[in-house]
Amino acid sequence: MARAVRARTCALGLLGERRRRDARARDLLRGSEALAGLPERDRALAFRLVMGCVAATGELDRVVDARLARTAHLEPRVRDALCLAAFELLYLSTPDEVCVSQGVELVRGVAPRAAGLANAVLRRIAEKDAPALAAARGRVEAGTFAAADLARVGALPEWLCERALASLGPRAAAAWASAALEPSAATVAANRALVSTDEAERLLADAGCGPVAGPLPGSFSLGAPAQLAGSGLVERGLVLPCDLSAQQVALAAAPAPGSRVLEVGQGRGTKTVLLEGAACATGVPCEVVAVEADARKSERAARRMKDAGVADHVRCVAADARALDASLGSFDLVFVDAPCTGTGTLARHPEIAWSLEAAAVHELAGLQLQILSAVASRVDEGGALVYATCSILAEEDERVAEEFLASDAGCGFELVSQERTSWPGSDVHFHAHLRRRL
């Protein structure tokens, strides 16, 4: 009798723990001793299985339920095991027989009497659902697809794929859906407020991370990203784990040396350091007021600014951006990193797709417009207003910029440029650059 391998039993245990604790997959994976104790190859498989099963949860439930008898009721541990095996069968390149055999053993390990049911369900998925997925992939590759095909290929809700098609057009929507289950590229940015790009590359190389210079100033992809955790480079603020798209958005804002910058939506402060680093790279830091609505996040960001060596030039403020204190004054650059659906970051945040409700898109678009309108008065004449999201949806992106420009708050501004990022293996971000007329 075959036995389930350690990578799969570890992944199954983590999926059960996530379900019981309602934890985020990445947080759970980051702190898992069981995962850390696996050999590197097994660790990579377990990581991929957990992230994939969470990202595809709605589609996996649909597939499994469709192959059950109507009266069958699955206990949660059996469903976890079936979904894990179904994910590997449908979305990874593991041979069908291995997926079925390993899935049966996973189920046997938690509910021995359900092994026969697992064998029947997984074989039906291999016979029915795998060919259907292959056909959908063929239509996507040929450019003759519908939203339902994107939903199957990316294991995404169909309503979200309909919105993606309307926002991005067929080619970009197909690329977005096809990448939804792929691992994110391992990229970092040098903290150019502390080190030069050359120094960062040497430090990463000495730590065994295998850095390769990226397309943006101070950016690197890592050939051995697992080495970064024990290097101390992140804790010392010398490099920042950061997606290329996020780096592009911050660099495109390009604060002038010595300028006054208002950042709205500071979060953990990664873009704050990137903004400051971009100014420092030209010889003179900028002066940043960074606003975050969550007081605890703002406190953590303030501590991070110290570690990153930019605390003397960054003031962290916990406040609602729609009601800022007048004493903060006006700014050369206002950078709005708006709260959004995060639909451009599905590979990095697997919980988003199936927890997002369609109504939330409209609600967030309203909030985004309120924030943009409120902070517009803080832009000096001739100054810049940058609006950014990590959403792919036009309702949160171009439509918000258009509504702002058509409003009383936006009538004194002009649109300079707007675009979505498109780096292979990276998130998709949107950024619009507006300028206040003199």
Annotated catalytic residue 10? no
What pLDDT score does 71 carry?
Answer: 63
**Cβ proximity of 261 and 254 under 8 Å:** no
CATH H-level superfamily of 243-436: Vaccinia Virus protein VP39 (3.40.50.150)
Q: Which two tokens stand for residue 22?
A: 């309602």
Q: What HEC string does the chain produce?
A: CCCCCHHHHHHHHHHHHHHHHCCCHHHHHHCCHHHHCCCHHHHHHHHHHHHHHHHCHHHHHHHHHHCCCCCCCCCHHHHHHHHHHHHHHHHCCCCHHHHHHHHHHHHHHHCHHHHHHHHHHHHHHHHHHHHHHHHHHHHHHHCCCCHHHHHHHHCCCHHHHHHHHHHHCHHHHHHHHHCCCCCCCCEEEECCCCCCHHHHHHHHHHCCCCEEECCCCCEEEECCHHHHCCCCCCCCCCEEECCHHHHHHHHHHCCCCCCEEEEECCCCCHHHHHHHHHHHCCCCCCEEEEEECCHHHHHHHHHHHHHCCCHHHEEEEECCHHHCCHHHCCEEEEEEECCCCCCCCCCCCCCHHHHCCHHHHHHHHHHHHHHHHHHHCCEEEEEEEEEEECCCCCCCCHHHHHHHHHCCCCCCEEEEEEEECCCCCCCCCEEEEEEECC
Q: Which two tokens stand for residue 46?
A: 């377990």
**Does domain 6-142 correspond to CATH entry 3.50.50.60?**
no
Domain boundaries, the chain: 6-142, 243-436
Rounded CA-CA distance 427/228 in Å is 21
Could you list the pLDDT tens digit for every one of the 438 residues in the chain?
Answer: 578 899 999 999 999 999 999 999 999 998 899 999 999 899 999 999 999 999 999 999 999 999 997 767 889 999 999 999 999 999 999 999 999 999 999 999 999 999 999 999 999 999 999 999 999 999 999 999 999 999 999 999 999 999 999 999 999 999 999 999 999 899 999 999 999 999 999 999 999 999 999 999 999 999 999 899 889 999 999 999 999 999 999 999 889 889 999 999 999 999 999 999 999 988 899 999 999 999 999 999 999 999 999 999 999 999 999 999 999 999 999 999 999 999 999 999 999 999 999 999 999 999 999 999 999 999 999 999 999 999 999 999 999 999 999 999 999 999 999 999 999 999 999 999 999 998
Strand partners, 222: 211
Rounded CA-CA distance 33/38 in Å is 9
Tell me which of 280, 316, 390, 411 is the catalytic residue.
Answer: 390
Q: How many residues does the chain have?
A: 438
Annotation: binding site for S-adenosyl-L-methionine:
292, 320, 337
Cut 0.75: pTM above it: yes
Q: For the beta carbon of residue 49, count every other beta carbon within 10 angstroms.
A: 24
Residue/partner pairs of 113-116 with CB below 8 Å, 24 or more apart: 114/74, 114/75, 114/78
